[in-house]
Amino acid sequence: MTLITRPETTTPTQSRRLVAIAGNPNSGKTTLFNRLTGARQKVGNYPGVTVERKTGMLTLPSGAVIDIVDLPGSYSIAARSPEEQISHDVLSGFSQGLRRPDTVIVVLDATNVRRNLYLATQLRDMGVPLVVALNMIDLARERGFQIDYEKLSAAIGCPVVPIVARSGEGVDLLLKKLELVAQTRDIPGNVPRFIDKLPEALEPPVQELADGLVQSKLSDPEHARAEALWLLISTLDGDEAVSITPTKAALTKRVLKKSGLTTQEVRAIETSSRYQYLRDLMTLSAAVEMDLPHRVTQIFDRVLLHRVFGPIVFLSVMAIVFQSIFSWAEPAMGLTESFVGWISTAIAGLLPSGMFRDLIVDGAVAGFGNVIVFLPQILLLFFFIGLLEDSGYMARAAFLMDRIMSKVGLDGRAFVPLLSSFACAIPGIMATRTIASRKDRLVTILVAPLMSCSARLPVYTLIIGTVFAANYKILGVFSIGGLVLMAMYLLSIFAGIGIAALFKKTILKSPPPPLYLELPTYKLPSLRSVALNLLDRAKLFVVRAGTVIVAATVILWALMNFELVETNAAPFEQARAQIQSNGALDDEAKSAELAAIDAQEHALHIEHSLGGQIGKFIEPVIAPLGFDWRMGVGIIASFAAREVFVSSLAVVHGISYSDDDDSTLRETLQTARTDSGVLIYTPLVGLALMVFFVLACQCMSTVAIVRRETNSWTWPIFMVSYMSVLAWLGAFAVYQGGKLIGLS
């Protein structure tokens, strides 16, 4: 597998210097990271949490090679959840698998220096050597911003370099300064740090806690005050609490209690007074702050956030995104399928026929096909998401959708992932990363597979075509088929909303998603960043989720191919011999009859297979839903992908089946009867079966991606369980309820 990046080139090692990049969201932090590292980067997770950790390598002008880690974008070092704790932990050397960084590059958005300096001065308080990169200086100057870099640099005691990360302007100078900082540490700066001159209300608790930390050897004297302030402003209680040692937590709570202040109060005081401090810092640096609003942004927002046109534009954009993953991905998916078909044929030609060849071709290669078939949809969705994020429109989408989504208890940013899930839940679940709160993100991930994805369509089509007079018109315009289909989509939406609300109130109980959203100025998206991100997504999916999908395909293959009961081949051989020797048939008729015999034999093999036996074994469980063992086999097989249900039904019913035409299958199903002669596929059974497919998690690839995104098996297992129970209850209610009111 050459796809996996060689770890020795990108994993931070002990010997090399480590530089961290910090900054506000939208400060251009990631653009700078990409410019510095190019494709030499690796994406992983921070231990224990689902926050992405990007690391990369960089060669300095002197020829020295250093490691770089991209910290999550944030406005403050204060932590309200384990996710937000990461920056603090990395910078204090508490993060597993990372050394304490030797230097930190703080990226400031020059169009809003004061606000961006908030984080920078917090980092300065922590005592890490800083290099300040004043990004987007070109845009800021255009809008009237001026600052004396030398004065600012002297005031805070670290280099200040104006750069334009997008074009690379100033980056060389930044790297030179980066080397210098390593050699000349500890320039104090001629303005005392905030932590050294705290407001009256904060001084006693911070000093007391700092003393306590030093006494208990939990911090060295140099960093104790900053650590104390961080502990006082970080949430140590509640279920999203920051994870710190019990001794530290106990000390902090004691100090808080004694001072009579709450965490919130300490934070409010810190924020107000730090902004006061920043005001002085700006004056000292002779800063002329920008007072011109961004013209282009104002003009665009007049339309894009307009009460009427705003939602119209938004829905049109969403329609394009949806259309692209729903149908534009189709040709590319066809290509990947023929590619896999070509590989299968090639491999099949090389190996002797038998169990081993089947395992490779129908298990492993098919599994590989099941993985790459998702790539077109994933790439398309992330291409659009990249454009929307980079341009600044995604924040507007969250702004427009906030009211509606928060009524349901979901984050405004959950809209795009959920909508995408109507095409396919895999890219949808991958897109939930923009949701900040862990619980809200989990709720979104858990309900995403309830959205009726495109893989369910072949199942709906088959069942509707089989059990309903699909073209019968109601009111002249609506066909029964169309109405039933619409009902399934509505069911999926309402089930999603209901389950999301339920989870928000129970297992993932949390307050309504908070809204702290900046509407950044519009920018032309950087294709380079979008492309790099696409590469990351594709790589992550293939490497991480891919292995699980291939393994599951092999297991399903084994289920369908290992026979528990031996199949007696003799009657089929006899029948074949009879046909061959029948002089009344021409060649064409002969091959047709032979194919029919083959299909019957295959059906018997499936019935005797492990999967078939499981289908029979679970028949009592699914019988109350109106299903027989053949549907049970189809349901088990469709774990590979929902549309496999259609071909598996054909196989268990012993008919040869082609993808293009399911009319033979429909006719067979319409006349299929139980041993006691009752029709199996009645409209009511069909309806129950469709409801089952709307609600059930019949997709191992979804399970694999949830495993990858939540970093645990707990949530995927929970998801499959709750959806199976829900599907069973739904189908049960439809079938038994229908029978009660006399339907069949």
Partner 1 sequence: MQSKHFQCLSCKYVGKTSDLQHLDCMPLGSRCQLVEIENPSDNLLRLMEMGLVPGTSVVIERTAPLNSPFSLRLPGCTLAVRREDAKHLLVAPLPKDSE
Binding of partner 1 by 264 (CB under 8 A): yes
Report 116-135 residues binding partner 1 (CB under 8 A).
118
User: What is the smallest separation between the CB atom of 121 and partner 1, expressed in angstroms?
Assistant: 12
In the bound complex, what is the minimum distance in angstroms from residue 451's beta carbon to partner 1?
23
Q: Which residues inside 67-96 make contact with partner 1, applying CB under 8 A?
A: 75-76, 78, 80
Rounded CA-CA distance 501/511 in Å is: 12
Cβ closer to partner 1: 114 or 616? 114
Query: Does 291 sit near partner 1 (CB under 8 A)?
Result: yes
**β-pair partners for 708:** none
For partner 1, give the closer residue by CB, 205 or 683. Answer: 205
Give the pair of three-digit tokens for residue 407.
């009524």
289 binds partner 1 (CB under 8 A): yes
Minimum CB separation of residue 612 from partner 1 in Å reads: 54
If DSSP codes are grouped into helix, strand and coil, which group holds residue 445?
Answer: helix
Residue 267 touching partner 1 (CB under 8 A): yes
CA atoms within 13 A of residue 454's CA, in its CB half-sphere: 19
Cβ burial, residue 440 (10 Å; 0-12/13-18/19+): buried
Is 311 a binding residue for partner 1 by CB under 8 A? The answer is yes
Quote the least distance from Cβ 265 to partner 1, whole Å.
9
102/109 with CB nearer partner 1: 109
| Residue closer to partner 1, measured from CB, 504 or 707 | 504
Contact between 395 and partner 1 (CB under 8 A)?
Answer: yes
Is 399 among the residues that bind partner 1 (CB under 8 A)? yes
Check the CA dihedral 376-377-382-387 and report its sign. positive
400 binds partner 1 (CB under 8 A): yes
Q: Which of 167, 272, 323, 345 binds partner 1 (CB under 8 A)?
A: 272
Site string for partner 1, 645-684 (x = CB under 8 A): ----------------------------------------
Contact between 404 and partner 1 by CB under 8 A: the answer reads yes
114 scored as a contact of partner 1 (CB under 8 A): yes
If the CB atoms of residues 100 and 115 are measured against partner 1, the closer one turns out to be 115
CB distance 41 to 72 below 8 Å: no
Q: Is 293 in the site for partner 1 (CB under 8 A)?
A: yes
**CB burial of residue 246 (10 Å; 0-12, 13-18, 19+):** exposed
Provide the β-strand partners of residue 59: 65
* Least separation in angstroms between CB 298 and partner 1: 9
First to last CA, the chain: 54
Nearest Cα to 146, choosing from 280, 283, 293? Answer: 283
Q: Which two tokens stand for residue 536?
A: 């990351």
Residue 144 interacts with partner 1 (CB under 8 A)?
Answer: no
Smallest distance, partner 1 to C-beta of residue 522, A: 11
Residues within window 509-568 making contact with partner 1, judged by CB under 8 A? 514-520
Is the four-CA dihedral 564, 568, 572, 573 of positive or negative sign? positive
Q: Which residues contact 653 (CB under 8 A, 6 or more apart)?
A: 603, 630, 665, 668, 669, 672
Q: Is 402 in the site for partner 1 (CB under 8 A)?
A: yes
Count of residues in contact with partner 1, rule CB under 8 A: 43
CA distance 184 to 325: 53
Buried residues in 381-418 as b, exposed as e (16+ CB within 10 A): bbbbbbbbbbbbbbbbbbbbbbeebeebbbbbbbbbbb
Whichever of 112 and 526 has its CB closer to partner 1, that residue is 112
Q: 């996710």: which residue's tokens?
A: 83
Taking a C-beta distance cutoff of 8 angstroms, is the pair 89, 95 a contact? yes
Beta carbons within 10 angstroms of residue 512's beta carbon: 14
Judged by CB, which is closer to partner 1: 201, or 599? 201
Residue numbers at the binding site for partner 1 (CB under 8 A): 75-76, 78, 80, 111-115, 118, 235, 264, 267-268, 271-272, 275, 289-291, 293, 297, 301, 305, 307-308, 310-311, 395, 398-400, 402-404, 406, 514-520
